[in-house]
Structure 1
Amino acid sequence: MSLRINNDNFGAYCAKFSNERACFQALFDIKWPDGYRCPQCGDPRFYLISTRRLPLYECRACRVQTSLISGTIMEGSRTPLHRWFQAIYLHTQLGCVNARQLSAAIQVTYKTAWLICHKIRRAMTHAESGRFLSGIVRVSDTLYSKRLTPTFEWHNQEQLLLVGASGDSSEEPDLIVVEHQSKANLRDKYDCTDPTPFIHKHVAPKFIKDTVFTRRYGKNMNQTLAWMGYHITWWAGRIFRGIGPKHLQAYLNQFCYYYNRPSHTLYDELLSDCVASQRITYKELIRSTVSRRLTRCSPRASRPASQTG
């Protein structure tokens, strides 16, 4: 599947950030919007050490050295900064990009592209983790990868989700939170988990008692939320060719990240969130993936990722 992007826009972006030096000032402004501050003592004075691939900033007071990518998702990466910038840009275009598309677009290996995608997804998850729903809050269950079969039994690909939304009306929510739910203890595909833990986790305390919970069927169904699973399934299928339950939550966070932000600020916010989020290494990703799979007794625990990621 080829990546169809606006070549003029992407070409102009690549020309703007065509080398490492072009990225330095942009990262500096995001990392220290009010000017340099030592991460150790807060002193604003520094010596610039520019003899390395990336400049180092040495505090004049305590002599601690820090780089532009320390404390970011790019920390420890050997991928050039302008490739990272291109990857972040492409993650804000046309509903996202998968690892194979990214590999071809920015000319890196599939493994590197896969890792970049997961790190960017990690930054999105970190940004969404502190969000609480407030005001008029509605919650509903919905299904990911729903199969239109006249049976009460779960299909292997079907996954139960809870969707929380806040907004002035039920037509188009302003903010959403989507969480993958276990179906292990459910009687059948029309059963639902207790929404109370979800509500207490994602709704601001003062609005919990007024939160309205409805099912995905029946006369009180909130159609917007009940059909959210369909939109997520379509999005995941179009870009990633579907997602298994082991990694589903990370992609749900990514979907919410896009939904909860206006398109004209998406790039600036994602770049800032990538700078503000801590890195995760390839070994940590593999270890956490294998750990989750072994916990669920998966027969293919040694395979770390989907084909398109």
Structure 2
Amino acid sequence: MFIWDETLTFEQFRRRFQTEDDCVAALYRFRWPDGFRCPRCGHSQAYTIATRRLPLFECRHCRKQTSLIAGTIMEGSRTPLRLWFQAIFLHCRPEEINATQLASILGVTYKTAWLMCHKLRHAMSQRDAALLLAGKVHIVNAIHRRQFTLEWHQQEHPVLIGASVDEDGQFSYLKIKIQPKFIHHHKLKQPEIEPFLLQHVDKKAQFTVFPVSKGSDAKHKLRKMGWLAECWLARLFRGIGRKHLQVYLNHFCYMRNLPAFTRFSRLLNDCAGFPTITYPKLTGSTAAARSRRLHRNATVSSPFAS
């Protein structure tokens, strides 16, 4: 099993996972840590079909064939596993990475790198959705600002920042969630707390919601996390629009909720354990919309168009 070392360089990592076989063996262990299990019947024995780029496993009981990447974030991808492993590694480094940088390092197109980044964030978001804030919980409302200004801007969004707090007052788990935007007299109204509690906080938790007017160290610590998220988005991505903002905030929280030495294993495990998301779903495009765009482009480019 791969052991994470914060001093490990990218070149050392690439040598460790140099071939597809290296990555296949590691992904197999993460996907089936207790040995193969057929997704249809649960049988534990399978024939290996190694004539494809990635192996297929044929259940000896029901004969169902299962790809190594079926049901994972990598399902349907033609990108080599070694590049996926490199992308996971680079996302787990303290300096992290954006799609433009990833495309340059991996030698892939920007579209491929962008899709890989979003699929990794999808795995992070699925893991976040499966975990609730528990124990002692602090919650505060804040404004996510795309621009650092005192005036209201249409790209600003209300958020609720919540965290599980340990006995020493440190955050053990953090969530930052966008809330519905309501404008009243050109001001953003405070978000309702009940939906956040129902969706993100354990029913047995003891929670404290800090009012806007009351200042405290705990409240300022939570708001500082929101400010750090804004700085991270501005530095690494030059700001993010509303459409994908939540998954980027999930990304920020995911990395800060994990000790550095567990990040690679945790993210690879989540990539192996959660299903993928497709490009059309990410972009909101449909077959009909693509057909209209193609028809429009063909009409515009036609030499007979008026």
**Paired residue for 1:196?**
194
Counterparts of 1:150 and 1:81, CA distance in 2: 46
Instruction: Give me the whole-angstrom Cα distance separating, in 1, the residues matched to 2:35 and 2:150.
Output: 62
Q: Tell me which stretches of 4 or more aligned residues in structure 1 moved more than 6 Å.
A: none
**Aligned 1:119-268 pairs, distance under 5 A:** 119-145=119-145, 149=149, 151=151, 154-168=152-166, 171-189=169-187, 191-207=189-205, 210-220=206-216, 222-268=219-265
TM-score where L is the length of structure 2: 0.85
Shift of 1:184: 2.8
Matched with 2:292 is: none
The CA RMSD measured in Å over matched residues stands at: 2.3
Name the counterpart of 1:20.
20
Task: Tell me which amino acid in the other structure corresponds to 2:207.
Answer: T
CA 1:271–1:229 in structure 2 vs 1: closer, same or farther (change >3 Å)? Answer: same
How many Å separate the matches in 1 of 2:123 and 2:224? Answer: 27
Residue 195 of structure 1, CA deviation: 1.0
- Displacement of 1:265 in angstroms is 0.2
Partner of 2:36: 36
Partner of 1:307: none
User: Which string of whole-angstrom CA distances, capped at 9 and with x for unpartnered residues, describes residues 242-282 of structure 1?
Assistant: 11122111111111101111111001000000011101121
Q: Do the aligned partners of residues 216 and 92 (structure 1) sit closer, same or farther apart at CA in structure 2, a change above 3 Å counting?
A: farther
Contact map agreement 1:122 1:250 (CA 8 A) in 2:
yes
Shift of 1:84: 0.6
| Percent identity of equivalent pairs | 44
Whole-Å separation in 1 of the counterparts to 2:197 and 2:95 = 28
Superposed displacement of residue 95, structure 1 = 4.2
* Structure 2 unpaired stretches of 5+: 1-5, 287-306
Describe the superposition over 1:282-304 as per-residue Cα deviations: whole angstroms up to 9, x where unpaired: 12222269xxxxxxxxxxxxxxx
Match of 1:284 among 277, 281, 285: 281
Instruction: Tell me how far apart the structure 2 counterparts of residues 44 and 172 of structure 1 sit (CA, whole Å).
Output: 43
Checking the alignment, whether the CA contact within 8 Å between 2:141 and 2:161 is kept in structure 1 is yes
Cα displacement (A) at 1:185: 3.9
Distance 1:273 1:145 in 2: 30
Question: Aligned partners of 2:77 and 2:147: how far apart in 1?
Answer: 41
Measured in 2, the distance between the counterparts of 1:48 and 1:252 equals 40
Instruction: Give the C-alpha shift of residue 178 in structure 1.
Output: 0.9
State whether residues 172 and 224 of structure 1, in contact with CA within 8 Å, keep that contact through their aligned partners in structure 2: no
Matching residue's letter, 1:214? F
Change (3 A) 1:214 1:7: closer
**Contact residue 143 and residue 230 of structure 1 kept, 8 A:** no
1:170/1:201 CA distance change after superposition, 3 Å = farther
CA distance in 2, matches of 1:283, 1:272: 25
Count of matched residue positions in the alignment of Structure 1 and Structure 2: 281
1:163 is matched by which residue type in structure 2?
I
Which structure would you say has the larger Rg? 2
2:159–2:191 contact (8 Å) kept in structure 1: no
TM-score (norm 1): 0.85
